[in-house]
A and B are shown apart, each in its own frame.
Chain A
Amino acid sequence: MHTKRKPILKRTTRSQWLSMLTLLMLLASPAASLLAVASNALPPAAAKAAPVASGNSLRIGMKELGDPDGYRLKTVRTQRDYPFTRPKGWKVLPSSNIRLSFQHGANLLPERSSLNVLVNNRILKSIPLGKDNITPTTISISVPPELLKDNNILSYQVDQHYTYKCEDPFSEELWTQILPDTALTLNYGWDKVSPDLAQYPFPLLDPLNNYTPTVVGYVVSPSASDQTMEAFGVVAAHLGQQAKWRALKPYVGDQNALSSGDNLVLVGTPQENPAIGAVAGGLDLPLSGNQFNDKNGGTLPADTGVLQLIPNPKNPTRAILVVSGNGPEGVKKAAHVLAQGSLNKVLVGRSAIIKDYNRGAEYPYRAWDGFILQSGDNFSELGLLTQTARGITALPIFYQIKLMPDIFLPGRRHAKLHTVYSYASQLDASQSKLEVLMNGKAIKSIPLDDKAGKSLAELTIDIPTEEVHTFNDLEYRFHLYPEKYDMCRFVTDVHIWGTVHNNSWVEFPGEVKAALPDVGLINDGGYPFTAYQDMSRTAVVLPEAASRTDLEVMVQLLTRLGRESASRKGIELAAHHVNTLPDNVKKDSNLIVIGQRGQNKLFEELKGKATLLVENKLSTLNEDQKTKLAQLNYTPGQGVLEEVLSPWNENRVALLVTGENDTALIHDAQLFSNDDWFKGIKQGNLTVVNDEGPQSLILLTRGQARFFYPQDLRGGFNLPAWGWAIVGFFTLTGLFSVLRFLFGR
């Protein structure tokens, strides 16, 4: 559920006070009186449950369609639509069917009531709602495969009446319940894959497969070069971005993974990664003596990248992606070009030789698609559409409004929701209204009382800032009644409608600044590691002698960061072993430090910052912190996720992903792979993960947290409202005095 965050940081630091003075004269305005407040971070909307796939049969139940308890079709006439897809690689069989289980109100008139089952607007079955199916009834309806497209809609539509005259269209007697055991079963065969880089990430990831988790095995050597590690991270994060909300189950395999029949990604030079040699027979660009040749037989230079997408010889319905080159630089180039949002579409066929790569223009800071970046952004900029609702039984209009997690809203102030709406003429002014709900709570209801209707009218609603979170569900309910509406008189509702326009916008008092460290912000879109959506300024630091478990943590974490973000360009994160970590990367990046305690020497440099990182550190905690820690029942098998301010750059953080043994690191990996666990990360600088999931807490002492500001996370100025008022007063007085001094009386 949506919960309110409390600010981690309430006080203003000395450096900020000094900074304030510098803008003393300039900023004496109410507009600049932006308070530091807590962010309202919320986990992303709940993902739908994964359907059950057995053999070549997929059961998509009501739970998977988003209505786990079934759905009640109420009123005289209504329809419930469920979108579903047909995955690209599937050949749906005629045995596919809908098992419909339903019951309905006992007083429905059988000759006037029916339940229609439609797929893509075609009525597959029209069922009279008679006395014989008042109690739970189950029927099977065939789904003709030729009716299915890539994107489909399954609809349940009822027309129900309990009387021939004076009927209340909203009567409680008018109901039909689609029961929870209703399911659409798609029986299908797999098509053999015909890999083409132009279609990447298909077939590794099918954008139409919303049902079964995509399993991708990565085969990469833990001792491979930094460039190969970077390539591995780039491919994993990019694939995560492509998967978005879809279930993606990556794992790091060894040589034996080649016999798995899964989708595989082989990363590294042929020398680093013997698995590449093992599939050499199926490669489009031949391998000779551990060196790639072009099609004319010439050996490719070491700094040239190679991409190959081939069918998995063990399973022709799955593919193997080879991200390689004859040298580490080539591997890195290949990965970056593959992850380039636009450029990878220029790649066609089964293989490509990548001669050069330059990352190009800087990705803009905070350019998050679909998020409100600042006060005044409108729905259109969030990618939301103008929508219309029609008739007496108009369906509600839903929008999800997402605020950047680094937007701080001051308490006891109001945000404003400006809604642009239109409605039809000839509405019954006494009954028709527009109701607005925010996060399930009604916040405003206005009459629709202009007989001529209205076009592009504006409604402004004040919303307490405490009610505004990172993820907000906004709902508009048009209650539409035709003029002189009367149950016992003929009316029609075909002409009445209401529209919400997507130039509606949100205004709020607030400032862009994030209180860090806060691991809770990671599940608010991966902040701050995804502040640049291409993950530039994010670096993964592995132990000098990395293990496969370290890589497992890395792939799960980066896949998750990918799923939380959306780059329009490419992925620019860096990855290094700690012994080869360049100083500039250490200084300029938000670091993700992975490894068991004692195995990554960067932990030693962070001793002064971290809480659970080093032994004997616990003794420095105060009693309150020790009590909190005791509640965690910390044991060596628990994973630890801790975020600290970077000692090398006051505007960067380091995320320590650690534990005392392999089990602990596996818990860390699970934290990122398990949707529910990930959503369970709460506000705090520390999260401990055990078999039951994560627990977060705040163990901060003075100076261990601060606000981060925009402009590339540089420090900024901050004053409370009263501070700006004083500054303003003195400035004006001073100015007045100067004028008097200069010009006399």
Chain B
Amino acid sequence: MKHKLAGGSLMAGLLLGLVSPTALAATEVVPLERLHVHDVILLPTVRSQYVARFTKPTTWQVAPSSQVVVEFQHSHELLPNRSWLQIIVNDKVVKHVPLTHANENGTRLTVPLPVGLLKDFNTLAFRVEQHYADKCEDPLDKSLWTQILPPTQIIFNYTPTVPQVSLAGYPYPIIDPLTYSPAKVHYVTSAQASQQELQALAFVNVHLAQQAQIHEIKTRVSFEDQPGPANEHVVFVGKGSTIPDAAKYQASFGDYALQGGQWMNRRTGQTLGNDQGLILFFQAPGSAEHTVLVVTGNSDQAVIKAAEYLTTRPKESTLLGNALEVPPGWSASGARGSKVSRFIESSTRSFQELGFTIQEVQKINAPPITYHVPIVGDFRNQNGKLWLDLHYSYSPQLNPEFSSLELRMNDVSIANIPLTNPNGETDKHFSVQIPNELIKVRNDLVAQFHLEPDKHGWCVDNYVDNSWGKIMDNSALRVEGGVSSRMPDLGLLNNTMYPYSKEDNLQAVHLVVPKDPTPQLLEAMLGFTTRLGRSTLADTNLRLALSKGFENVAGDRHVAVFRNSSDALNLPDGAHLLWKPGEAAQSLLRMLGLADINNAQVAASQAELGHGIYMEQYLNGSRAISVFTASEPAGFQALGNLFETDQDFETLQSGYLQQASLLNRTQINPLNAITYHLEKQKSGGSGWFGWLEDLRRWAVGLPWMQIIFGMVAVFFIFLILPVVVQRIFRK
């Protein structure tokens, strides 16, 4: 009876939540910047359009008082009777504004948001028609422009509603891609958490992050359930005995109960077996905005099993309801992922593999097609070459004199393909080598179609423009020759999380934490896994490994170590590192030839040098060992924050050592990328006789050689030369 009441109250609570929106109205202002528009929007040429995408979160009841505020300016050369700006929401024109002299400078418009048209994913488009002459007009003339200015914004007035919470919809609403603010997750675990429990914690977090992708996640960790912001979701990970605070949600556990640190089934009255994982997911009582997830069991084995079951891909069909025991006999598949990495390392990658779909652009003012291509291989030192094997199509009836497909790499034009076939082309192939000097870690590869209609000209008023160009997804970036590794370089983490993201199921990643990690250190570890998750998307269960200390670290995994500055860093036995293991500061000190300090002294040295965070990367054979250290607990929080905040993480620069001082509890000063690299002294001649010049320089540097050469010279000149002369004159 008691169980039924509990279950009933849960259901009642959920139903109540679903049908009765909370009364508090709210406002969310979404500027263009949050729609990934980081500058003014330029609308050039005779007609053009820019489309920004925005969402309507599922839990919002948007009020009709919501608005779109548009600020714009335009060229004074536009003809008012033939030029206009349209504001379009989901393909419906909500405002048509003639572009006149009255509104050419910074004009602000307020337009009601058509609430009835809103869906989960929406578009806000700005379209212009612009003319400077009634005839004989260059449609690409630079005087044809309108700018949408950054103060443009969408103002949502809404009332929040309670989301439906179920494992079937998991990880919604923890991860809701429709929201504008980062997902906030509060993990609760134990100071005595075992290796398996921490691994389960990492699994849950990576999985959430893989679901979130471009959506930010902010995590924190504590060893007890401390109150947080209203919209912060709580996730308990651990054995029943190590997460006693979870018991306060007992009423929401449905058929299960936590009693004396042990999970039991209320219906059977039985304690759960040691291999039975348990997952609970429900709306937090009394809250409209946050949920509670419990990943648990009565043993370490059960906890890890629960986490594996929750995070496996494809999603288990039995993952339903608010409470679920992992089916007996279930085990993670152990299958290797079939996905390839989404960056260029040393292998050829097709556009499809890189996640680039077929792209088509139309008309005379076709916008550029931009591909963001991460390249982690180093093409500078060996004879490696990177080719772009492009497959493209274009429409018939293009003007062959002016139409072309221009290719740019990092803002430098590298090739121009004339589009000269009057009948157009389908899946035409073109290869061009990308100059090695243009290859960086983060690259913008741009394909720009210049499409001029055949019958088009200055004084042709009514030309037909059916032109289009297409880049196919069977295009590829082809690697030829040897490519060396850029590691060690923490800058490779930026954008790609290389090398940890090489396998999407993280089967080549091993995390190392101390025996007794603090919550702050775990926050740094979770920050790392959040970023790792957002950079990958597994197609199998996760294979991430975690250990306390360096025991049982597989030799083929890339390692990320999170450690207190006072802990000794005992890297694996026999590890042959590029340079000696040690403290961030110590490794630098050593490289700079500072006094050789042993590990015990290092902590003291660093403390004296100052407080802050340190990240360093070593190379052990072909695997990376990254070490993350902070001189104080708040430093780890700052480190976690750095990994989780896009804007901060993008400041991570190239270098095998990064350091920053703490600005406040969770923020750091700008990172210092520390590299110690002296160019090798250049030597060697050039040209045809370069080797002789080299030899000469070498000889000059050797005094004893001078003596020998001197003796040889004397020998030839004084012994042989007279003989030669004698012979010549005798003849």
Contacts and interface: CB of A to CB of B under 8 A. Distances in A.
Do the two chains belong together in a single complex?
Answer: yes
A172 B358 CA distance: 47
Contact of A568 (B142, B660, B678): B678
B696 interface: yes
B681 A356 contact: no
Contacts of B689: 29-32
A351 to B, nearest CB: 8
Given A345-B674, A483-B401, A733 B142 contact: no
Interface string B393-432: 0000000011110101001111111100000000000001
A358 B701 contact: no
28 contacts: A21-B714, A23-B699, A24-B713, A25-B713, A26-B709, A27-B696, A112-B132, A121-B39, A122-B39, A126-B73, A159-B142, A165-B458, A342-B675, A343-B592, A348-B661, A355-B605, A357-B595, A365-B681, A367-B678, A369-B679, A375-B685, A388-B412, A425-B417, A426-B418, A490-B138, A492-B452, A495-B450, A730-B716
B681 A349 contact: no
B413 A342 contact: no
Interface in A337-375: 340-343, 345-349, 352-353, 355-361, 363-367, 369, 373-375
B102 interface: no
A452 B416 CA distance: 8
B319 interface: no
A499 B413 contact: yes
A347 B717 CA distance: 64
B682 interface: yes
Interface stretch (A196-204, A316-324, A557-565, A659-667): A196-204
B611 interface: yes
B414 A499 contact: yes
A716 B414 CA distance: 46
Interface string B603-614: 001001111100
B379 to A, nearest CB: 12
B411 A424 contact: no
Given A342-B592, A358-B592, A363-B678, 13 more contacts: A23-B696, A111-B132, A114-B76, A122-B147, A164-B136, A198-B612, A364-B678, A367-B679, A424-B413, A424-B416, A499-B413, A501-B437, A733-B721
A452 B430 CA distance: 13
Given A30-B689, A373-B682, A343 B611 contact: no
A32 B414 CA distance: 39
Interface stretch (B122-130, B341-349, B583-591): B583-591
Most chain A CB inside 10 Å of its own CB: which residue of B403, B459, B593, B707: B593
Contacts of A680: none
Given A23-B696, A426-B404, A356 B669 contact: no
3 pairs of A and B residues whose beta carbons are closest in the complex = A31-B689, A360-B593, A348-B610
B11 interface: no
B411 A361 contact: no
Contacts of B138: 490, 492
B716 A24 contact: yes
A23 B709 contact: yes
Interface of A: 19, 21-27, 29-32, 77, 111-112, 114, 121-123, 126, 128, 159, 164-165, 196-199, 294, 340-343, 345-349, 352-353, 355-361, 363-367, 369, 373-377, 380, 386-388, 390, 422-426, 451-453, 455-456, 482-484, 489-492, 494-497, 499, 501-503, 507, 568-569, 709-711, 714, 716-717, 730-731, 733-738, 741
B402 A426 contact: yes
B589 A343 contact: yes
Interface string B659-693: 11100000001001011111111101111111011
Given A199-B669, A346-B588, A737 B723 contact: yes
Contacts of B450: 492, 494-495
Nearest to B719: A734
Contacts of B411: 388
B413 A198 contact: no
A183 to B, nearest CB: 22
Contacts of A363: 678
A81 B54 CA distance: 35
Contact of A342 (B136, B588, B690): B588
Given A26-B695, A342-B588, A357-B594, A738 B610 contact: no
Contact of B717 (A24, A165, A494, A716): A24
A348 B401 contact: no
Nearest to B655: A342
B435 interface: yes
A388 B413 CA distance: 6
A114 B147 CA distance: 16
B133 A164 contact: yes
Contact of A358 (B141, B438, B593, B712): B593
B721 A375 contact: no
Contact of A356 (B140, B452, B595, B720): B595
A730 B437 contact: no
Given A363-B678, A455-B414, A126 B700 contact: no
Contacts of B594: 343, 356-358, 360
A497 B677 contact: no
Contacts of A709: 700
A390 B448 CA distance: 14
Contacts of B456: 490
Contact of A386 (B417, B438, B595, B690): B438
B40 interface: yes
A515 B293 CA distance: 79
Contacts of B609: 346-348, 352-353
B591 A360 contact: yes
Most chain A CB inside 10 Å of its own CB: which residue of B104, B406, B416, B591: B416
A29 B692 contact: yes
Contact of A159 (B143, B149, B438, B690): B143
Contact of B709 (A25, A345, A386, A503): A25
A489 B459 CA distance: 9
Given A26-B695, A112-B143, A425-B417, A569 B700 contact: no
A366 B681 contact: yes
Nearest to B450: A495
A399 B686 CA distance: 23
Given A112-B77, A717-B700, A359 B593 contact: yes
Contact of B696 (A32, A424, A453): A32
B374 to A, nearest CB: 20
Given A121-B39, A363-B678, A353 B608 contact: yes
Contact of A31 (B682, B684, B692): B692
B692 A32 contact: yes
B716 A490 contact: no
Contacts of B680: 364
Nearest to A363: B678
B401 A426 contact: yes
Contacts of A492: 138, 140, 402, 450, 452
B659 A495 contact: no
Interface in B515-572: none
B196 to A, nearest CB: 37
Contacts of A387: 412
B731 interface: no
Contacts of B720: 733-734, 737-738, 741
A456 B710 CA distance: 47
B608 A114 contact: no
A724 to B, nearest CB: 10
Contacts of B413: 388, 390, 422, 424, 497, 499
A346 B659 contact: yes
Given A112-B132, A374-B686, A494-B450, A21 B710 contact: yes
A489 B692 contact: no
A314 to B, nearest CB: 26
Nearest to B716: A734
Contacts of A390: 413
Given A734-B720, A737-B727, A364 B707 contact: no
Given A126-B76, A373-B682, A734 B438 contact: no
